[in-house]
Chains A and B, each alone.
Chain A
Amino acid sequence: MLGRGLKRKLSDYEENMAGLSSAFDSSRNLPYPLKRQLVLNMCLTKLQTYKMLVEPNLHRSVLIANTVRQIQEEMRQESSQQPINVCSGIAPNPHCYPGIDSSAISLHLPSGSSQQESNCCNSWSAEGPIENSLLMVSDDDMSSAISSILKDLDFMEDISPPTSLVPAGDDEPLKSPENTCLKLEDDRQDLKGAECVFGSFEISNSTSYLKDLAIDDIFEDIDTSMYDSDFCSPLLMAPRPPSAATEETLKTFPSCNSSSTNNIPICRTDLSELDHIMEILVGS
């Protein structure tokens, strides 16, 4: 982003041209999925940057969120067109059906996202390159990330919502972490199930698939202190590997801890971070 008050000059423009995006623009040989991934990464980076601003631009956020949704939808359609195997190793759970069935399964996400986002569950056991599976997992993070960004915008901007909505609004932030945590956990279980079935694919040895996601890097440096007490955003925290020691200190999530015993990913990171903090304090 250019500094404020600076005139844009031709030389700056040329500097900006050198880079991945210019490769995108100029190269016709770049494979489509790679182009798409590039755009998706840029979108997520922007959304992340905007989230850190005190007053994000609503117009831009909506445009970028729509672009992300569009790419997500495309990826889902692509993977649902691939041959689907039933995975017997997947732990049954009420929210996610390993599905051949491509018809809409209504999945109740408390954030109230649309039907199309609920269809992502159908593809969990889909056979496909492992990148797709990793991308599919990140789909949910993305949807939740978009939802949380838009909800935050609402909170920031509109201080006087209609009274009939206020009680519901208050409940949602508390409910969503619990259920999205559940969802993420289910996803991981699904993936592990997928792993055992599609063993012939080259899969990394890591126990947590989420560790390998590129979006990890994006989420690592977030300071979530602003959102701790109001909006529990475990979806930003969850992608972090439970065992990795991150540089940033974790703040506790009081509302999260009280709401559910299923927050296993959160508790794990909590403990490891506590250890880390203790280390620093003790100075060892």
Chain B
Amino acid sequence: MAGVAGGGGGGGGNDFQWCFSQVKGAIDEDVAEADIISTVEFNYSGDLLATGDKGGRVVIFQREQENKSRPHSRGEYNVYSTFQSHEPEFDYLKSLEIEEKINKIRWLPQQNAAHFLLSTNDKTIKLWKISERDKRAEGYNLKDEDGRLRDPFRITSLRVPILKPMDLMVEASPRRIFANAHTYHINSISVNSDHETYLSADDLRINLWHLEITDRSFNIVDIKPANMEELTEVITAAEFHPHHCNVFVYSSSKGTIRLCDMRSSALCDRHSKFFEEPEDPSSRSFFSEIISSISDVKFSHSGRYMMTRDYLSVKVWDLNMENRPVETYQVHEYLRSKLCSLYENDCIFDKFECCWNGSDR
């Protein structure tokens, strides 16, 4: 759906009422393929919402300032900036087209007036700087008002340029391009709590980058077997721990999550913790493995729990307990009886994301 919706929480107590707060995008039935939104991410404060689409564009929405006369209603989000993040590329060596679709966007924690985000397609990650400009300098010595260069010999006096307000302009500029490190399609990126490094994960490998260094990355997980025919599992998502900069997790297509500590070895092929729920034999079907594939994993803000999303359910895990989740929520259990049809039309391979709210409720 080429639209974005915000949810609103209702009154007090444990019962939430969910409703659409705002819908953006086209209501038309026929949507251009390039407009289809492929990823969504709030920044840390929630003031900015970034969306990436199949056409390689990023649109950032900003929440308007709270209106004093209506203190209880949430601010509306309006378009803040739009830019083309990725272009389609052609890999001549393999005769393959590299899609410009944005797979993931992650914001960096804000350190100055500008905002930074990482956006990635299948192969390349880019660091974008989004900055505001609301002042303009006037009264240059060497340039006319319309920009033409003055003849230096004609200048008889010097003046100091004055800053004048102008309409707000939001500029996005690419600051780093991290390319050529992934053979397979990138499915996750995650910024580390040290604010200096981040990881990127594809189907079989995870790489560690430094935000300042674009020509090198460290491979920290590699599950590619020597013989590809023995491949039975792929990496589906990965994330750094919110507080411990040496800890990260990655999920697999077999419904398992591995927690790794980068201090133990340079190549984290051996996990420190292994999370897997034993299969319920009564609900076993031909499609059990397919629906157990985890599509997203997210740490809670506290860092004590993590949430995983597979096809039919959301599970909350306590990091101290590896043998089963502490909570399980069936999201659309009614689909369980229709698995074969969903398999036939490929809907069973749809990937869903999950997200904690600000207070981990």
Do the two shown chains form a genuine complex with each other? Answer: yes
CA distance A63 to B254 in the complex (A): 9
| Partner-binding segment picked from A77-85, A147-155, A273-281 | A147-155
Q: Tell me which residues across on chain B come within 8 A of A70, comparing CB atoms.
A: 286, 289
Whether B286 contacts A63 by the Cβ 8 Å rule is no
Taking a contact as CB atoms closer than 8 A, the residue among B33, B337, B344 that contacts A16 in the complex is: B344
Q: Which of B280-319 contact A (CB under 8 A)?
A: 286-287, 289-290, 293
Closest-CB distance, A65 to chain B (whole angstroms): 8
Closest-CB distance, A71 to chain B (whole angstroms): 7
Closest-CB distance, A139 to chain B (whole angstroms): 15
Q: Does residue A268 face the partner (Cβ distance < 8 Å to B)?
A: no
Whether B228 contacts A4 by the Cβ 8 Å rule is no
CA distance A4 to B337 in the complex (A): 26
Taking a contact as CB atoms closer than 8 A, the residue among B233, B338, B344 that contacts A62 in the complex is: B233
| Partner-binding segment picked from B73-81, B88-96, B103-111 | B88-96
Closest-CB distance, B276 to chain A (whole angstroms): 16
Contacts A63-B289, A112-B230: A55 and B96 contacting too (C-beta < 8 A)?
Answer: yes
Taking a contact as CB atoms closer than 8 A, the residue among A16, A60, A66, A158 that contacts B341 in the complex is: A16
Closest-CB distance, A53 to chain B (whole angstroms): 11
| Partner-binding segment picked from A18-26, A191-199, A232-240 | A18-26
CA distance A165 to B229 in the complex (A): 14
Closest-CB distance, A233 to chain B (whole angstroms): 14
Q: Tell me which residues across on chain B come within 8 A of A64, comparing CB atoms.
A: 290
Closest-CB distance, B92 to chain A (whole angstroms): 12
Size range of the interface on B? 35 or more
Whether B343 contacts A21 by the Cβ 8 Å rule is yes
CA distance A154 to B183 in the complex (A): 10
CA distance A48 to B30 in the complex (A): 30
Q: Which of B321-355 contact A (CB under 8 A)?
A: 337-341, 343-347, 349
Q: Does residue A244 face the partner (Cβ distance < 8 Å to B)?
A: no
Closest-CB distance, A267 to chain B (whole angstroms): 27
The 5 closest A-B pairs by CB, nearest first: A5-B33, A154-B228, A24-B340, A21-B340, A21-B344
Whether A112 contacts B227 by the Cβ 8 Å rule is yes
- When C-beta atoms are compared, the residue in chain B nearest to A59 turns out to be B234
CA distance A160 to B219 in the complex (A): 15
Whether B230 contacts A114 by the Cβ 8 Å rule is yes
Q: Tell me which residues across on chain B come within 8 A of A21, comparing CB atoms.
A: 340-341, 343-344
Whether B96 contacts A1 by the Cβ 8 Å rule is no
Whether B229 contacts A147 by the Cβ 8 Å rule is yes
Whether B96 contacts A17 by the Cβ 8 Å rule is no
Q: Which of A1-49 contact B (CB under 8 A)?
A: 1-2, 4-9, 16-17, 19-22, 24-26, 35-36, 38-39, 42
Query: What are 9 A-B residue pairs whose CB atoms fall within 8 Å in the complex?
Result: A2-B345, A4-B33, A21-B344, A26-B337, A39-B343, A59-B234, A63-B289, A67-B290, A150-B229
Whether A158 contacts B183 by the Cβ 8 Å rule is yes
CA distance A153 to B204 in the complex (A): 12
Whether B229 contacts A157 by the Cβ 8 Å rule is no
Closest-CB distance, A120 to chain B (whole angstroms): 16
Whether B286 contacts A25 by the Cβ 8 Å rule is no
Q: Does residue B32 face the partner (Cβ distance < 8 Å to A)?
A: yes
Whether A67 contacts B33 by the Cβ 8 Å rule is no
- When C-beta atoms are compared, the residue in chain B nearest to A55 turns out to be B96
Whether A54 contacts B95 by the Cβ 8 Å rule is yes
